[in-house]
């Protein structure tokens, strides 16, 4: 899995959109409430540490088992302390990758059985850039 760095998060103006009281049914359709609860600022919900947050785009399928797919946008927070089991962005021997952090066995793990673990040892240069806090996928058909 390759990642393309898209840049750091910059504080921008708030973009508030309506948040409705009713939930959207994913099964049998039901009438939606016309009552708006409040306005929702996605930046406020998704970004906890703006100065430490960056974005990158996923290329590859090694993390499909945790719901990260080719083309997804990752929001990565450098201020979150990486812990065992976190999805992280790491630089391994100069290449940026997204993997599951296994601190017990000192590995970076794929979420796809077709990809072997990456052993973190003295012979591998590895730097954890940050913890993936959100992934965003577009559901728009382009073809």
pLDDT in tens, the chain (143 residues): 566 666 676 666 555 555 555 555 666 555 555 555 677 778 888 889 988 999 999 999 999 999 999 999 999 999 999 999 999 999 999 899 999 999 999 999 999 999 999 999 888 889 999 999 999 998 887 76
CATH code of domain 2-8+51-136: 2.10.109.10
* CATH 2.10.109.10 domain position(s) in the chain: 2-8+51-136
Go through the chain and tell me how many residues it has.
143
* Region at 122 (left for phi over 0; alpha for psi -120 to 50; beta for the rest): alpha
- The residues that are catalytic are 62, 99
């Amino acid at each position: 899995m390759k990642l393309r760095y898209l840049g750091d998060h910059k504080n921008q103006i708030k973009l508030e959109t309506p948040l409705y009281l009713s939930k959207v049914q994913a099964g049998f359709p039901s009438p939606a409430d016309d009552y708006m609860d409040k306005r929702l600022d996605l930046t406020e919900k998704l970004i906890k540490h703006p100065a430490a947050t960056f974005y990158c785009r996923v290329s590859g399928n090694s993390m499909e088992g945790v719901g990260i797919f080719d083309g997804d946008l990752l929001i990565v927070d450098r201020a979150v302390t990486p812990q065992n089991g976190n999805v992280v962005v790491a630089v391994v021997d100069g290449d940026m990758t997204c993997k599951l952090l296994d601190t017990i066995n000192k590995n970076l793990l794929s979420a796809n059985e077709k990809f072997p673990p990456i052993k973190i040892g003295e012979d591998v240069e590895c730097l954890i850039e940050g913890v993936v806090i959100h992934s965003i996928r577009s559901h728009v058909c382009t073809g």
